[in-house]
Each structure stands twice: as structure tokens, then as C-alpha cells.
Structure 1
Amino acid sequence: MSLAIIHSRALVGVEAPAVTVEAHLANGLPSLTLVGLPETSVKESKDRVRSAILNAGFDFPARRITLNLAPADLPKDGGRFDLAIALGILAASGQLPGEALDDLECLGELALSGALRPVQGVLPAALAARASGRTLVVPRANAEEASLASGLKVLAVDHLLELAGHLNGSAPLAAYQARGLPQQPTPYPDLAEVQGQLAAKRALLVAAAGAHNLLLSGPPGTGKTLLASRLPGLLPPLTEAEALEVAAIHSVASQTPLEAWPQRPFRTPHHSASGPALVGGGSRPQPGEITLAHHGVLFLDELPEFDRKVLEVLREPLETGHIVIARARDRVRFPARFQLVAAMNPCPCGYLRDPGGRCRCTPEQVQRYRAKLSGPLLDRIDLHITVARETTSLEASGEPAQTSASVAARVAAARQRQLARQGCTNAALDLPGLRQHCPLRTADRHWLEQACERLGLSLRATHRLLKVARTLADLDEQETIARPHLAEALQYRPGLGA
């Protein structure tokens, strides 16, 4: 057989499009031509594959070899196609049976000795291979990650000779058996460890129940970071589909996806982070912090210290749940359905309205500091909470502490009501869903319209206020939104008591 076809997978964003590796041997002077829009690292695979084949004890055909990576318009990079290219050459030259390769998809970088090295982005390829119904061949170091795709047959290989023995029937390989993954390897910090701050804890409950964005404002040392770090522990566990999405993103970003399986991400980028670091980018687009926080929490501490241009790029993903990175050759779409929690000081020194009178900021300085945050961005944050300084006491108060477990139970019940009613969280309601699931009595509607007009709230802010009121009604197990729910939701908008 002078023509062989091998199946593999490329990596574009968090997707793994199919790539067919075609190997053809023809008479003529010995040469090897690689076509199909390969990047430099793929072109270098010719030398790696040649050495791997010879060192594995096979003959490298002294013929004119043409390798085509189809489709031709899909950019291809990395060493992930080495194994498929080597198998194609061996099958085309008759050293391996070509029919045994029809139901396989192969990924792996070859060492000069013929050993297989791990590659990144295996989990998206595993999910795509499962959908196609083929068996996935990966280096052994990637096998545990690939096994996250339940129902997929995975062959873990250490060396090219090992796979050759399986294909010619002399030493068949058994399907890889996963070692089993922990369901919750690291417990989240408990809300009971936070002293006082009852209003802020109530806001955390509302934010978790409806997947709302939250802004905490207050002097240094009042517990803003402490409160934010407790939010992931209040959220419902990830579903299997959500956990696979999160793991696939971390696989693409060259981070081990098994370290926190299946926990919700909690990302805390520093305020010096650039735009590409936050939203993703690069010549070969990579996911940024907002994508790494997909189905989790993105915590931005010292929010006004971020560059304003960096913060403005958050506006689109906060609305759509994804970000599109455009480059000259292609456009890559990354998921970014995250919950934003931000913290800031009330003024540059942080002690505005402090009872000790430590603040020396002028009104102009305070105004300039707050002007770093644009109105459209603040509109997209549903809950604005002032975290006041508590009295200094090292003894626990007599009030029973709210544990994360007890609050999480209320959150789960509220989320269940939302999913049963509308199929999504309240924060994700679109305009038709808002009209259908957030009806108001005539008197309450007129009252809300007057209040929003008096506070100068935009239409977007009004819609988000309604979503918060819907969450408050769900926490109270009420089918309709009442006046107290609207009044509490109004308290979470900026401008009241500022």
C-alpha cells in the first residue's frame, strides 16, 4: 500500500478540529514533503519522525514521500502530529497494517528514540474523539487526562514499538483504566470564619443564589478578600459537563486539569495584569483569566488600580459569556461565563468616613479615584456593598455563625427553582425571559419606575435590579416578586448612601 490515512486532532482555542494525515509514497529521488499549512514546529517533525522510525528498528523508505495535513486551510502547530505522521509512513510502506488504523485517532510528540512525549490540549481532543466513536491513542502521561471523557476508549503508549505491536497483533494493548479522581480534593474556606459583616454575608448569599456580580467597597482590613474567597464554597457543585469544560480550558492553557477536579475555579489576577493576560490573546491565542474562571469566580482586588482599558474589555464577556480574539488569519472564541467579584477602597488612602478621621483625601482626589471605573462597567455589577469596619474583638460573638454548608443549601434550593422555572440562573435571563419570569403588580411597577427615575438608573441597571429581586423572591420561596424584594434590590445599587 503506497497511501495511508491517519486521523488526528488540531487545537484551535478550546476546540479540537479533525485533521487527516495522508501519507503517499511514490517512485523518484528520496525526499519528504510536508503540506497542509504546517507551522515551524510541525515542519521540524520530519527530522524527529525519521530518527524515531530508524531508532525503533523500522526502515525509513528511500522513496519520494508526500505528507498532507488536511484540511489545508487550518493552521497546525506543535508536535502533536508526530505519531500520526510516523504511523502514516510505516503504513504506506507496508510495515504496519493500514486497516488497523481506521478506527484510531493519534496524538503524541516523538522523541528521537521513538518514545512518546505528552502534548497539551488532550482533553478537547478526547471529547471530540468520543463524539466520533474512535479510539484515542495518547502518550501515557496524557492518558489520565484523556480518561476524563467517560465512555472513550483510550490506549496509553510509551513507545512507537509498543503501538506497532498492538497494530500488528503481536502484543495487543488493553484500554487504559483510570485511577479514579477525587471529587473534592481541597475544601473551600468556610464562611463561619468571617466575623461579623452580616450585610456582606447576605450579599454573598444573594450573589451565589442568582449568579450575580458583586462589588465590595470598604476600608483596608475589613474582610473584603476574606469574603470573596468564600463565594466558591457557596456555589452548587459543577455538573459533569461543566467540569469537563473547565478541565478542557486548563488543558489548553498548559495547566494540569486534574489538580482541582471538579472544583469551581477561583482566579485572582494582580492589578498589574495586561489586557491579553485578562481576556486572552497572543500570536497563537491563549485563554486569559476570564476564560480560566469559566463556571467559577473572577476576583479583582483593588479594582480602580487596574488599567481602565483593561477593565473595559470585561464589558462584552460579562454580557455574552464568551470572548472572541480576532487575529489577521483567524478568530478564536473562548468561553467566559464567570461570576465577577471585585473589591475596592472608598478613596485613594482607603479611610474615607473612617471614625478615626484618618482620611486626608480631598473631594477632587476621591472623585478622580472613583472615575477610574466607568458607568457601563458598574452597571454590569448587580450588587454594590459597603463593608464597614467591625469593632476589634478577638472573642466570638454570641450569634450562631453561618457556615458555608448551611448557606450553600439555601443557594442550591434557589438555583433549583430557577432551573426548573427558566432553565438558567436569574443573572443569565434575557429580555424575553425577564418579562416572562419577573412580572410585577401594577402598583409595584409604578413604584419601581419612580425609584429608578429618581436614582438615575439606566435601563440595563433596572433590568439587573429586577433579576436581583427575582433571586430574593426565590430565596424566600415566593413565586412572585413583592415590594420588599424590590426595596432590598434597590439598596444594592450604587448611589444610596455613597
Structure 2
Amino acid sequence: MYAHVYGIALLGLHGIAVQVELDLANGLPSFDLVGLPDSSVREAKDRVRAAVRNSGFEFPLKRITANLAPANVRKEGSGFDLCLALGILLAADTLPEHALRETAAVGELALDGTVRPVRGMLPMAFAAREQGLRTLLVPAENAQEAAVVSQLTVIPVRSLRDACLHLSGERVIAPMAPPCYGDDSASGSSDAGEALDFADIKGQHHVKRALEIAAAGGHNALLLGPPGSGKTMLAKRLPTILPPLTEEESLEVTQVYSVSGKGAHLGGLIRTRPFRTPHHTISAGGLIGGGTIPQPGEVSLAHGGVLFLDELPEFSKGALEVLRQPLEDARVTISRTQAAFTFPSRFVLVAAMNPCPCGYFGSDFKPCTCSPAQISRYRHKISGPLLDRLDLHIEVPRVKHEDLVGPVDGETSATVRQRVLLAREIQRARFPGRPFPLNAGMNPADTRDCCSLSADAAALLRDAFDLLGLSARAYERILKVARTIADLEISSEIQAHHLAEAVQYRSLDRKYWE
């Protein structure tokens, strides 16, 4: 007796359709899995046997061989349980012959036959559609996520018995309706960020201006100031002035969270920009991703949003140095023996740190207790190449008492976001068709073509380069930031005051690291 069904394997951010072939032969009862399964797939034998029996079906006392094709692709995870169980019942004539035609099944089985959710459902659903399959049986908790994929009928099942009754036509399960992109009820977004607003911040007007520039051009920023000056509060409000995710960006972000196992409880598309705040004890692997079967790290979970690194010098040197490739290339590539896995990592980095270990160097209200050697060691934990990749260096002073007790006079996030949206529209028109049409992503040729300087601005930049001892990368960063400032003012040419403001955001190159 022979049958075949389709399952889906997960490789990085991509799914691949797997044909699961079942052969039931006479002989001593056994259950063999071939086709490069890992230990979690091999363990499916015991789960499937118990689930079939406890669902009220007879498990065939045959010599069962299951082949997972293509055999040269490693299969991992518990998502093959459901298709294995259905394939065995199909081969044993418990299900009608046509039941699983043009159908794939994904899900983990409990011993009582309950279907449990799995990670990576969204890329699996895309793989099913690309294979030409029309129907996908998925755990009920994953159904809304899978239904995002058009031209695919998604059937939510809660147990193996429910799946069998549906396939035999005895109790048909209604397919999951595809979510509407504009419908927030189908979104995985949280309303927690809606309570945050730029208007909550009293004082710090120049810091809010710098964060507006960062949001408009996609620039990375370093906030430097004493404890309690509001660095974390400011960083948390940066997502509120970023444009909403486009549908394409939502799909990318949702796939990352789905593969990492953080998407099943959200359902549908993720609509809000991620804001990730890893603790400074995180390892390099936790930051960029890793593992035997690589998983996305924090830089990929922040894709499309903001990665906030508080107390930057407290992170290990290894963790900080691995940030250089994601910041430059907007992606992470992790190589393993069997394959190389690439995860997206396009985000705005906001880092915060104190000026010294005690936090009060240069303070006008509390003396610093650090020795010069301690201060030097603390600051030089941030390497020059990493510092060059932080476009904006922003000093965050202590908030004054009159600002705290005075009336709220700052702009709301909605007002600032409108200016950011307008500046980004200018950049999108400047770089049509690019996946990252922002000034922060300009290459050297773009910088030459798009950053035309007035005579006064050119002279100012020449003097700043010599006085500050800027690197070539810092020189380009200044031009990119100046281009964003000009875009916020809807100016086609970079003027001297645009460049002067951009230069002041690189003053830490000399002031704190000389």
C-alpha cells in the first residue's frame, strides 16, 4: 500500500515543499523515516502512533517506510507530524484516495491527537503556493498567519480527528478568511506604542530634532548623556515618528517573527515597526542569529524598525563588532556546512551611553569620580569603525527644572511624522525602485550625484574635515545627514547651514575619542 502527501520544510526564511511518501508492507511492524530527517522529525514516529490510536483510528501493524523527498534537504522541526499521520491513514485506506490531492498539511501532534502550532508558518504557506498546491491544513493557532497568502485555501484544524472528518467530507471545516490589510483586528500589532508620544518629552528640543533627522533618512544615532537625562524615553518614541509599514515590509517582518517562533500568538500581519531592546549581556550569536539550524537574532527581529542598545559600552566587544556587517549591508549571512542562511537586518540603530563609568563627566551638578584611565577604557570599548557607522552623535544634557515644571510645548509625534513622510517621499522619488530608498543607504556614487553643495557649504566641509580629523566614512556620513536635513527643508542643494548642523552631529569624533 502506497500514498504520498505534501509537507513543508523550513530553511532559514524560506519554505520548501516536501513530498512525504508512505509505503505499508507486510512484515514485522516497524516505522522507518528516511530522507535526512533530524532528531525532532525522527521523534514524530512515537507521536504519530499515539495520536492515531487516541484519535479513534487503527494504526496499521505493517512495516511502514516514510521517505521525505527531496532527500538531500535536511528536515527539522515537528511540523511533519500531521502529514505523516494523514499519509499513513491514506495508505491504509482510512481516508478516501482523493482526500489529499493538491493539499499540504503542517502541524505538530500531541499524543491525544491535538494539533499544536509550529513556527515559520508564513514562509511555509508561500512555499505551498509556489508548489502549485491549492489547500493547506494548518493548526488553528497558525491559520490567520497562513491566510495572509493569497490563492491558497487555509483550513484550520484543532485535532487529527477533525482533519480526517474534513478530508472525508463528514464534517467540513470552513476555510480561514484572508485578513484585510487595512483591518487592524487582523493585525499582530500592539497598541502599547500608541500611548507614547514625542509631546511627552519636556525640553531636549535639539535631541528630538536629531531623532527626526534619523527617522527621515534612516540614520543610526548615538545618545550620550548622564543617567536620568531621558535617553531611553527618547529612543522609545522614535518608532512613533516613523512611517507605517508598507504591505511588503509587513510581510518581511512577519516572516522573520514567524521563523523565530514569535509569530504564532500574533496572527496575521505585523503592522507596527519593531522596537527591540536586548540586554547588554546578550551574546554575539543572540544579536545576529545563529544555532545549528540558524535562527534570526535581534538585528533581524528589529528589521524594519528600531534596535535600541542601552548602555552601549557594557555590551561585549564581540557582540558590538558583529554589528558592523548588518549596519553596512542590511542583512546577515550565517554559513553552515549544509547551506548559507540570509536574514534581513535593515533597521535604525539607536545606542545610548554615559560619558564615563559613573555617568557624570562634564556635569555641572555632580562631580565625576572616574580616573582618566577609567574614562579612556570606557570610551574605547566603542571601536572607531563602529562609531563611524553611527551617523548622529547627540549629547543629551540633564533636563532643567523649568522644563520639567513648565507646560508641555513640544510637537506631537503625528506632526513630526508628517515632515518625516514628506522627506521620505523626496528620497523615494530620488531613488525609484530601490528596496531602501533612503539617504542612509546611498553608495559613494549616489553621494557624488545627489549631494551637491553650495560654495559656502563646500568650504565649511573642507575645514571640518581637517579640524575634526574625520575618516573617509565619517565624511560620507556627514554628506548623507546634510542631504536629509536639506530634504526636510525641501531644498535641492545642500546649504551651509544644513552642513553645519550635520557636522555638529560628528563632534564626538574629536571631543570624546581624541
Provide the TM-score with structure 1 as the length reference: 0.94
8 Å Cα contact 1:210-1:471 kept in structure 2: yes
Q: Which amino acid aligns with 1:76?
A: K
Q: In the alignment, which residue of structure 2 is the partner of 1:136? A: 136
The Cα shift of 1:297 comes to 0.5
8 Å Cα contact 1:188-1:230 kept in structure 2: no
Q: In the alignment, which residue of structure 2 is the partner of 1:185? A: 191
Q: In the alignment, which residue of structure 1 is the partner of 2:224? A: 217
Q: 1:228 aligns with which of 223, 235, 244?
A: 235
8 Å Cα contact 2:150-2:178 kept in structure 1: no
8 Å Cα contact 1:188-1:232 kept in structure 2: no
Q: Which amino acid aligns with 1:489?
A: A
Instruction: Give the distance between the partners of 2:342 and 2:336, measured in 1 at CA.
Output: 11
Bigger mean CA offset, 118-127 vs 437-446 = 437-446
Instruction: Give the distance between the partners of 1:10 and 1:21, measured in 2 at CA.
Output: 11
Q: Which amino acid aligns with 2:275?
A: F
Q: In the alignment, which residue of structure 2 is the partner of 1:89? A: 88
Q: Which amino acid aligns with 1:287?
A: P
Bigger mean CA offset, 19-28 vs 221-230 = 19-28
Q: In the alignment, which residue of structure 1 is the partner of 2:164? A: 164
Q: Which amino acid aligns with 1:99?
A: H
8 Å Cα contact 2:224-2:354 kept in structure 1: yes
Q: Residues 47-87 of structure 1, C-alpha deviation per residue, up to 9 Å, x if partnerless?
A: 22222223333333333322111122222222210111112
Q: Which amino acid aligns with 2:465?
A: C
Bigger mean CA offset, 163-172 vs 71-80 = 163-172
Q: Which amino acid aligns with 1:451?
A: A
The Cα shift of 1:268 comes to 0.9
Judged with a 3 Å threshold, the aligned counterparts in structure 2 of structure 1 residues 142 and 374 are, in CA distance, closer, same or farther, namely same
Q: Residues 342-369 of structure 1, C-alpha deviation per residue, up to 9 Å, x if partnerless?
A: 0111111111111135113233322221
8 Å Cα contact 2:200-2:408 kept in structure 1: no
Q: Residues 268-322 of structure 1, C-alpha deviation per residue, up to 9 Å, x if partnerless?
A: 1111111122111223322211111111111111111111111001000001111
Which residues of structure 1 form unaligned runs of 5+? none
The question of 1:273 aligning with 2:282 is answered yes
8 Å Cα contact 1:7-1:21 kept in structure 2: yes
Identity of aligned residues (%): 51
Q: Residues 99-136 of structure 1, C-alpha deviation per residue, up to 9 Å, x if partnerless?
A: 33232121011223322122222122123334445321
Q: Which amino acid aligns with 2:186?
A: L
Q: In the alignment, which residue of structure 2 is the partner of 1:208? A: 215
Instruction: Give the distance between the partners of 1:445 and 1:18, measured in 2 at CA.
Output: 57
Give aligned pairs, total: 497
Q: Which amino acid aligns with 2:141?
A: A
Q: 1:427 aligns with which of 431, 434, 440?
A: 440
Q: In the alignment, which residue of structure 1 is the partner of 2:182? A: none
Instruction: Give the distance between the partners of 1:436 and 1:172, measured in 2 at CA.
Output: 61
Provide the TM-score with structure 2 as the length reference: 0.91
Q: 1:374 aligns with which of 383, 395, 402?
A: 383
Q: In the alignment, which residue of structure 2 is the partner of 1:121? A: 120
Q: Which amino acid aligns with 2:191?
A: P
The question of 1:100 aligning with 2:99 is answered yes
Judged with a 3 Å threshold, the aligned counterparts in structure 2 of structure 1 residues 442 and 391 are, in CA distance, closer, same or farther, namely closer
8 Å Cα contact 2:299-2:347 kept in structure 1: yes
Q: Residues 190-246 of structure 1, C-alpha deviation per residue, up to 9 Å, x if partnerless?
A: 111111111101101100100100001111111111111110101000111211222
Q: Which amino acid aligns with 2:489?
A: D
Bigger mean CA offset, 177-186 vs 429-438 = 177-186
The Cα shift of 1:335 comes to 1.4
Instruction: Give the distance between the partners of 1:221 and 1:60, measured in 2 at CA.
Output: 65
Bigger mean CA offset, 377-386 vs 57-66 = 57-66
Q: In the alignment, which residue of structure 2 is the partner of 1:393? A: 402
8 Å Cα contact 2:90-2:97 kept in structure 1: yes
Q: In the alignment, which residue of structure 1 is the partner of 2:205? A: 198
Which residues of structure 2 form unaligned runs of 5+? 180-184
Instruction: Give the distance between the partners of 1:272 and 1:425, measured in 2 at CA.
Output: 32
8 Å Cα contact 2:311-2:354 kept in structure 1: yes
SS at match of 2:68: strand
Instruction: Give the distance between the partners of 1:387 and 1:4, measured in 2 at CA.
Output: 67
The question of 1:470 aligning with 2:483 is answered yes
Instruction: Give the distance between the partners of 1:435 and 1:481, measured in 2 at CA.
Output: 12
The Cα shift of 1:27 comes to 4.0
What root-mean-square deviation, in Å, do the aligned CA atoms of Structure 1 and Structure 2 show? Answer: 2.2
Q: Which amino acid aligns with 1:142?
A: N
Judged with a 3 Å threshold, the aligned counterparts in structure 2 of structure 1 residues 398 and 193 are, in CA distance, closer, same or farther, namely closer
Bigger mean CA offset, 75-84 vs 426-435 = 426-435
8 Å Cα contact 1:383-1:492 kept in structure 2: yes
SS at match of 1:173: coil
The question of 1:239 aligning with 2:253 is answered no
8 Å Cα contact 2:456-2:496 kept in structure 1: no
